[in-house]
Structure 1
């Protein structure tokens, strides 16, 4: 069942298992990050996740996975994070913690995630780490 794949993907995220996350996505993944450019391909996704792991430690809680038409899913969760290292163009990191509601839209085909679109309130995050 595809929703199991989504749960496995977010379980790998929470475990800090970057290889496990990469194993859930297709080679031609379209990764739409909040307020950023679309990253295309598994290699770009892996590089993005390595960068994120250096700058942030996050746990997603209260995960709810919703299914729609075949292959289409939404996930809602609360991000509990710590800002570890200053990210380019963002405020200085000093170990600030934050809690944000967030969500994602995902597409699954042939047993792999082919698209991830993530949303959260950047202004709220900036306020929390300021």
Structure 2
């Protein structure tokens, strides 16, 4: 599914504007262990924060979709470095981590209308502690 592949290519390039270009204006962003954020502005703020605290590359990606391509999912490995301490999490010292994760999408008119991401926070915490 091209929109999902473009979204993740922009993610791996650290291109927040490229990610935003693939989203509906009213995108619903369901964050792992967090609140739902509605709209591109909150999505952008989240991405800026994440890029400040983490350097991540996604590998081993598999993208799947239903027949009408209104829903999709992706499974991948997050290869990261913890750059700056994030509130409520262990202190950052440049620790590396490798974490399986997945994302689920609703697609509307060729754009991403919902992003839901899941990973095991306890596994991540153990790797960086």
Give the TM-score normalised by structure 1: 0.97
The answer for the alignment partner of 1:90 in structure 2 is 89
Unaligned ranges ≥5, structure 1:
none
The Cα offsets for residues 63-110 of structure 1, whole Å up to 9 and x where unpaired, read as: 110012521001000000000000011110000000000001101101
Name the CA distance, whole Å, in 1 between partners of 2:4 and 2:89. Answer: 29
Q: Is residue 124 of structure 2 the alignment partner of residue 107 of structure 1?
A: no
Unaligned ranges ≥5, structure 2:
none
2:42 partner SS: helix
The answer for the alignment partner of 1:72 in structure 2 is 71
Give the TM-score normalised by structure 2: 0.98
The answer for the alignment partner of 2:17 in structure 1 is 19
Name the CA distance, whole Å, in 2 between partners of 1:122 and 1:20. Answer: 27
1:21 partner SS: helix
Q: Tell me how far 1:55 sits from its aligned partner.
A: 0.1
Pairwise CA RMSD of aligned residues? Answer: 0.6
Instruction: Give the counterpart of 2:54 among 26, 40, 56.
Output: 56
Name the CA distance, whole Å, in 2 between partners of 1:4 and 1:126. Answer: 33
The answer for the alignment partner of 1:120 in structure 2 is 119
